[in-house]
Amino acid sequence: MIVLHPASLWEKKKGNVVKCGLCERRCSIEEGRRGFCGMRVNQGGLLYTLSYGNLSALESRPIEIKPFYHFYPGSTALTLSTYSCNFPCPWCQNWHISKRVEEEGRFISPEEIIRTAMARDDGVCVSFTEPTLLYEYCLELFPLAKKTGLYTCMVSNGYMTEEALRGLKEAGLDAIKIDIKGTPQGYEKFLKADGMIPWRNARIARETGMHLEIVSLMVTNVNDDEEAVSWVIDQHIENAGVDVPLHFTRYFPAYRFHASPTEIEKMEWAYNEARKKGIRYVYLGNVPGHRYENTYCPSCGAVLITRYSFQVLSINIREGRCPNCGEHIPVIMKGGG
């Protein structure tokens, strides 16, 4: 049975066509048809979402897995997702749910999410597939979370419209992780999308006071060459700023992409280049045990947070500062300490 929920952010055009304004694809959808993501449908000249409460996964996960490294380190977030996506990445690491339009997923209400999270988690996170597709649901979930003292975050490709991003912020979104897929040429070639939109949204996230982290999944032969990495670093400095963490994560073959996993040497080059150009907090991900999983003081080099994979082993920050040299360290922690 298809469960339809009225969609937000759309306008009616001539002849019962509707134009969706949730993401920058801005699909024009004829009556009886769906948008690019497959989760928004025009019925009788009105736009409905199939995503509302239609969840593909619900599990408690460490915040480091998102990855967020400067946002409540060591905490867990009750993490939920819907189906499908507005990006067609051929290397998708969550393809089993992102490439599926599911019309009969299990319905879970926002109230139930909050009750479950309050029993054991510090926050809620919308992730796995593109969270923007759960927009209408998030507008109800986030205010409930804030009322009960839970943090809220999203793991996104950053392709929502400005209106959608501001709407999420107003609803109570605390933090967003934006995935960068490479240069504008790569976006055009693989995704038929505008590669500057995620950077625009990174700027808006910062301006509106959200916590922001940027991730670049280094996909072999797609965006792992020096030119593409340098471009990402330069955009990060310009749009996110040198205090926003930049994660380079290792790709593994998935879905329709079979190139070998990212070479560690290339990831280390990216790390060193980003640090050399002035980004203060750079990380390598999906490389368990690598020293660049840790947080170092950008001023004196002291180890501040030690990690192994998604586990925090120790935190050595005192009242927001490096205990060795006193440098201010922008990490949001429980109790503000």
* Residues at the site binding ligand SF4, with contacts judged by CB under 6 A: 20, 22-23, 25-27, 35-37, 40, 86
DSSP 237: I
Residue 272 host element (H or E): helix 264-276
Q: Which is nearer to ligand SF4, 86 or 220 (CB)?
A: 86
Nearer to ligand SF4, 25 or 200 (CB): 25
DSSP string, 14-47: GGG-EEE-SBTT--EE-TT-B-TTSSEEEETTEE
Are the CB atoms for 113 and 125 separated by under 8 Å?
no
Indicate the residue among 42 and 216 with the shorter CB distance to ligand SF4.
42
At 205 the three-state DSSP class reads helix
What Rg, from alpha-carbon coordinates, does the chain have? 20
- Closest to 126 in 3D by CA, of 100, 147, 157, 104: 157
Smallest gap from Cβ 283 to ligand SF4, in A, equals 30
- Measured from the Cβ of residue 269, the count of other Cβ atoms closer than 10 Å reads 15
Which residues in 304-322 are b (16+ Cβ under 10 Å) and which e? bbebeeeebeebebeeeeb
Backbone φ, ψ for residue 145 (5° rounding)? -65, -45
State the minimum distance, in angstroms, from the CB of residue 207 to ligand SF4. Answer: 23
User: Judged by CB, which is closer to ligand SF4: 137, or 292?
Assistant: 137
- Provide, rounded to whole angstroms, the least separation between the CB of residue 296 and ligand SF4: 39
| Among 229, 226, 263, 224, CA closest to 246 | 229
Q: At closest approach, how far in Å is the CB of 33 from ligand SF4?
A: 10
- Smallest gap from Cβ 64 to ligand SF4, in A, equals 29
Nearer to ligand SF4, 176 or 267 (CB): 176
Closest to ligand SF4 by CB, 86 or 183: 86
Helix H or strand E encompassing 204: helix 197-207
Task: Choose between 35 and 172: whose C-beta lies nearer to ligand SF4.
Answer: 35
In the complex, what is the shortest distance from the CB of residue 41 to ligand SF4, in angstroms, rounded to a whole number? 9
- 254, 91 Cβ separation under 8 angstroms: yes
Q: Which amino acid is at 145?
A: A
Distance CA 230, CA 232 (A): 5
Supply the minimum distance, in Å, between the C-beta of residue 184 and ligand SF4: 19
- Tell me which residue has its CB nearest to ligand SF4: 35
Distance of closest approach, residue 250 Cβ to ligand SF4, in angstroms: 28
**C-beta of 22 vs 232, nearer to ligand SF4:** 22
Length of the chain: 337
